[in-house]
Amino acid sequence: MSTTTTEVLEKEIETHEFHKELTVADRCDCNAQAFFIVVAYGQDLYYCNHHFRKYETKLREVSTYISDQSDKINVKPSQSSPD
């Protein structure tokens, strides 16, 4: 019996740690602070708000899970802020 894509995705969802709190050390590829974790193809992909919004439609199509922690934007100054 072969494994279907749905079965693989369901297994990925069952075994993934979804409660990771992002920190200022977690970065998007552009080096901005990450506020989104996108789980796709068995990997955690970190996105800043700008890049997540830019690619959101496609990310929602291919992801098995999205952690939106954008409510933390501007809550307190980031360690990466110039001030």
| Res. 39: pLDDT tops 60 | yes
* pLDDT in the model for residue 20: 84
* pLDDT in the model for residue 32: 96
Average pLDDT, the chain: 80
Read off the pLDDT of each residue in 42-55 and give the average, rounded to a whole number: 95
Instruction: Give the type of residue at 78.
Output: S
Q: How far apart are CA 76 and CA 56, in angstroms?
A: 25
* pLDDT in the model for residue 18: 59
- Considering the entire predicted model, what is its pTM? 0.70
* pLDDT in the model for residue 73: 85
Nearest to 66 by CA among 11, 30, 26, 13: 13
Which H helix or E strand runs over 39? strand 36-40
| Res. 79: pLDDT tops 70 | no
